[in-house]
Amino acid sequence: MKDFISMLDADRLFIENIISLSAFLKEKQKKGELYRPLEGFTAALIFEKPSTRTRVSFEVGVYQLGGHGVYMDTQGSQLGRGEPIKDTARVLSRYVDLIVIRTFGQERVEELARYASVPVINALTDQEHPCQVLADLFTIWEYKGELKGLKVAYLGDGNNMCNSWLVGAAYMGMRFYAATPKGYEPLEKYVKAAKEIAKSTGAEIVVTNDPEEAVKDADVIYTDVWASMGQEAEAEERRRIFTPYQVNGELVKLAKPDFLFMHCLPAHRGEEVTDEVIEGERSVVWDQAENRLHTQKALILKLVRRVRP
């Protein structure tokens, strides 16, 4: 694998390797042991969307591995003045060892990867958020010790998170229930791909409009904001439509007693989730956020083939 621009680029073995390497890197850090196999390594970090966790975890991760990250946004680069993405790809490939991009259209990442001669990582598009799903799977594995057969209830918008989760869950043989309002389902492309993968992994893929069906006996409850970046004008209408999908104290009673609550953050408390749940004892959102650092370090090492555990 040269690039990681979609969960469809992965498979079960790749995800298992990322989880194993993430655990190794996390343990190293916990012990205070330096692990810097990327001395002299450079990464271009292109952010065309605002970011907290993704930017900091990638920038810190590259540094902790011994490399240097060069942060770029549209205001401080020629991308903001209309330079073609393919030109940027070819130029940056002469300077750096890796390109990380957080942008709008999936096609921009695909074009960047097509013209770059160094690995490209999708740090989020409107269509996918594959790096987040790697961290999510690692977090669940840490708590549950396994992934296969676990039921994940995803509530809310069938957005980029849901698209990537469909595929990741299918690879790992999980039971993934996406509960969304009518008209807000995940893209059919990812539903079809997940169901095809499920034929060989034993996964169960269900898209429903019933939040209670999804949450019943769930091992994991997952949600995301109802209005993503660029959808602010729809926020009021979305609040009205999505209210039945709020993760609250009453709804989570339908899940297993030891369920995990997850959210990719930032959270709009009082909308998609109540304070009672996100601050509750079943919430693992802070471990989930931390694990972005460890899984992204693992991903970088896998793509640049400098793994020396």
Can you say which residues are annotated as belonging to the binding site for carbamoyl phosphate?
51-54, 78, 102, 129-132, 264-265, 292
How many other C-beta atoms can be found within 10 angstroms of the C-beta atom of residue 84?
Answer: 12
List 264, 288, 294, 296, catalytic entry: 264
Give the Cα separation of 113 and 9 in Å (integer).
Answer: 12
Active-site annotation holds for 240? no
List 55, 108, 129, 294, catalytic entry: 129
Residues 202, 205, 211, 214, Cα dihedral to 10°: 0
Binding positions are: 51-54, 78, 102, 129-132, 160, 224, 228-229, 264-265, 292
Active-site annotation holds for 308? no
* DSSP letters spanning 7-69: GGG--HHHHHHHHHHHHHHHHHHHTT----TTTT-EEEEEESS--SHHHHHHHHHHHHTT-EE
Active-site annotation holds for 264? yes
DSSP-derived 3-state class of residue 240: helix
What DSSP state is assigned to residue 145?
A: S
Active-site annotation holds for 263? no
List 55, 102, 175, 238, catalytic entry: 102
List 55, 108, 292, 294, catalytic entry: 292
Query: Measuring CA to CA, which residue among 237, 301, 255, 271 is closest to residue 98?
Result: 301
List 64, 127, 132, 296, catalytic entry: 132
Phi, psi of 98 (to 5 degrees): -160, 145
Helix (H) or strand (E) holding 151: strand 151-155
Give the Cα separation of 102 and 98 in Å (integer).
Answer: 14
- Give yes or no for a contact between 128 and 106, defined as CB atoms under 8 angstroms apart: yes
Query: Measuring CA to CA, which residue among 71, 75, 67 is closest to residue 44?
Result: 71
List 224, 238, 294, 296, catalytic entry: 224
Binding positions for L-ornithine are: 160, 224, 228-229
Active site residues: 102, 129, 132, 224, 264, 292
